[in-house]
């Protein structure tokens, strides 16, 4: 029976560790000692796994000690793959994880990567590091697979066990082993790709496609706004056609959609091809925060509200509704843009850990927004708490001439001053 080690216990790694821990001896490894201690006490701060689910993984242990994972036979890497400030792939977490694995991997072991990368990264960037550190030879002494993660934070319907898992291996025997391993924990089944590079490419285009579809409706919103047409009404009308895709305009952030396309474009540019459509979509989506602020500011000026020193409330900081994930949230663009105007910005988000927000963005959300304080309110995230507040509950937070802008269209159009 394989002994499994999951490297990285975030939104991707923890659900994986829990499912494997039901059937196999499993160690969840993370360098964050506070995270490990909370998990040992049955608490998952990402809210992806319940205390009951953690308890049901009877063969799962947690560790920050490299020696405690040295007897594993399968290592699964689920560390983040972000971009840097120049929007280039930042492989630092992968490099560190691969270098670390080189210190513990043994003959006959298998390493499987789940982190989103550009095609070729596993075998061109990661495997050589393991070979260098271990002195072992790839596909002779140890083997590799790639099975891209498809975790959707906050989604309780589409989960690890209900989503088809793409698998691959460095040779036919490894491909069969990796596929069988995941098949044992994923009732939805698996799809075995012909190579690691195919599996890597499949993952990176999933979110690139979604990014481009959202960019299209964002651009439509920019056009329809100039025409004085409500975009949501247009989309609802067009949506009565059976093959019209139901995308909505909005901010595009998070650990996947706003990041993955840059991995693909980076590799394309290395090969001498400039990807025009993908980068155009990225430019549109990255411009939506400043666009929203420009629309709010215009409405404030029409009401003779001084933008400088105005009190602005932004409802929501996470990159999507009903989850605490603030990675690469584009709400920050709205906050920074208002601050550039000299406005005083409060952020309220009941899902967010204030210390985490302060560490990541230098923002400490308010515990409770004050009634009657704000000159402008922007509904940036469709948390169920904001929907339950409704128009009256949100409107009472503003002053009499307050501008109410609803990015997520959670309120009827006739009750707000603007929306995408």
Which residues are identified as catalytic?
256
- Identify whether the C-beta of residue 118 lies closer than 8 Å to the C-beta of residue 263: yes
In angstroms, the CA 411 to CA 420 distance is 12
Q: What is the DSSP letter of 89?
A: B
- Identify whether the C-beta of residue 238 lies closer than 8 Å to the C-beta of residue 244: yes
Q: Using CA of residue 103, residue 104, residue 108, residue 113, what is the dihedral sign? A: negative
In angstroms, the CA 307 to CA 145 distance is 54
* CB-based burial label for 146 (10 Å; 0-12, 13-18, 19+): buried
Q: What angle do CA 414, 419, 420 make, to 5 degrees?
A: 140
Question: How many CA within 13 A on the CB side of residue 223?
Answer: 8
In angstroms, the CA 151 to CA 147 distance is 12
Question: Which two three-digit tokens encode residue 247?
Answer: 């995308």
In angstroms, the CA 118 to CA 89 distance is 9
Question: Which two three-digit tokens encode residue 281?
Answer: 């979509």
- Identify whether the C-beta of residue 12 lies closer than 8 Å to the C-beta of residue 151: yes
Buried b (16+ CB within 10 A) or exposed e, 289-327: bebbbebbbebbeeeebebeebbbbbbbbbbbbbbbbbb
Collect all residues with Cβ–Cβ distance below 8 Å to 410 and sequence separation of at least 6: 379, 382, 386, 387
Residue 387 has a CB neighbour count (10 Å cut-off) of 16
If you count them, how many residues does the chain have?
Answer: 420
Q: 165: helix, coil or strand?
A: strand
């Amino acid at each position: 029976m394989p002994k499994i080690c999951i490297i990285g216990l975030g939104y991707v790694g923890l659900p994986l560790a829990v499912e494997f821990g039901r059937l196999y001896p499993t160690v969840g490894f993370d360098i964050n000692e506070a995270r490990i201690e909370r998990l040992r006490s049955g608490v998952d701060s990402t809210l992806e796994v319940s205390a009951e689910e953690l308890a049901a993984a009877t063969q799962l242990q947690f560790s920050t000690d490299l020696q405690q994972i040295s007897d594993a036979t399968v290592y699964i890497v689920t560390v983040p793959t972000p971009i840097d400030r120049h929007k280039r792939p930042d492989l630092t977490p992968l490099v560190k994880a691969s270098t670390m694995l080189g210190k513990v991997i043994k003959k006959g072991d298998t390493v499987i990567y789940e982190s989103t990368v550009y095609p070729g990264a596993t075998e061109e960037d990661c495997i050589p590091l393991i070979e260098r550190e271990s002195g072992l030879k790839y596909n002779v002494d140890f083997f590799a697979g790639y099975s891209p993660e498809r975790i959707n934070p906050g989604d309780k319907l589409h989960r690890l066990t209900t989503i088809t898992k793409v698998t691959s291996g460095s040779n036919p025997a490894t491909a069969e082993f990796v596929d069988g391993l995941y098949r044992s924990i994923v009732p939805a089944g698996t799809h075995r790709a012909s190579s690691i590079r195919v599996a890597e490419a499949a993952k990176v285009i999933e979110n690139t496609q979604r990014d481009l579809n959202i960019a299209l409706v964002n651009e439509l919103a920019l056009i329809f706004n100039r025409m004085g047409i409500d975009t949501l009404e247009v989309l609802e009308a067009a949506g009565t056609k059976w093959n019209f895709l139901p995308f909505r305009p909005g901010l595009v952030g998070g650990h996947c959609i706003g990041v993955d396309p840059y991995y693909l474009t980076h590799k394309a540019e290395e090969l001498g091809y400039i990807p025009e459509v993908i980068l155009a979509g990225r430019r549109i989506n990255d411009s939506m925060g400043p666009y929203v602020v420009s629309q709010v500011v215009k409405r404030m000026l029409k009401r003779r509200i001084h933008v400088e020193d105005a009190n602005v409330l932004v409802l929501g900081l996470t990159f999507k509704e009903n989850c605490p994930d603030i990675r690469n949230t584009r709400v920050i663009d709205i906050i920074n843009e208002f601050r550039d105007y000299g406005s005083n910005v409060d952020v309220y988000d009941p899902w967010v850990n204030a210390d985490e927000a302060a560490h990541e963005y230098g923002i400490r959300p308010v515990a409770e927004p004050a009634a009657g304080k704000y000159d402008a309110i922007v509904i940036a995230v469709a948390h169920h708490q904001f929907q339950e507040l409704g128009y009256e509950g949100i409107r009472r937070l503003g002053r009499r001439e307050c501008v109410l802008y609803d990015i997520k269209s959670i309120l009827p159009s006739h009750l707000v001053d603007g929306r995408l």
